[in-house]
Amino acid sequence: MRTFSDLFRNVMQLAYVTDDLDVACDYFEQTLGTVDCLKTYKSSLNGIAVVDGQTAEEWIIDVALVNAGATNFELIKPISGSVDLYRSAIRPGAPATFHHVGYRIPDFDEATEILAANGKSWAQYGHMKGGLRFGYVDMTAELGHFIEFMDLERGGEMHFAALEAKSNER
């Protein structure tokens, strides 16, 4: 079995929460100079989410993605349902607040086993059909933020590759 630290080998994303997705996107585009954010409003990400061990009946967020080279930025506005994992970190009025680091992993099931062997479990996990399996580990007590692990499927690989290519067109 691999070690817990092996899961941290492939950083791909820095994620932020916000109370206004358009303001956050404007900040990234205008102030930080990213290309235009790819925005999706009122999304369940076309999949399922399991929060605290229970399949969420409702899990709706606004989300925007944008890259700076290989680094993906995710901006999340919680809308409704089981989205308190995001809501609790928002600083009202700030364009965005850091929430988690996302790491790409090769095998979600193996990551689940590694977490369990280290006394950790998923605070939230899910599956976006054709895109990815994802899970959040609450590391706020230890590190001050959540960690997300993502096992990309073919559709997810293509999506993130397109975001990176768009950012490199400048």
Chain segment 19-29, per-residue pLDDT in tens: 999 999 999 99
Single pTM value for the model = 0.95
Burial class (CB in 10 A: 0-12, 13-18, 19+), 116: exposed
pLDDT at 129: 84
CATH number of the domain at 137, please: 3.10.180.10
Q: Report the alpha-carbon distance of residue 156 to residue 150 in Å, rounded.
A: 10
134 and 149 in contact (C-beta within 8 Å)?
yes
Diameter of the chain by CA atoms?
A: 45
Pairing of strands 54-55, 47-51: antiparallel
Residue span of the structural domain in which 104 resides = 4-167
Nearest to 73 by CA among 111, 120, 127, 17: 17
Provide the number of structural domains found in the chain: 1
pLDDT tens for each residue of 90-129: 999 999 999 999 999 999 999 999 999 999 999 999 999 8
pLDDT, averaged across the chain? 95
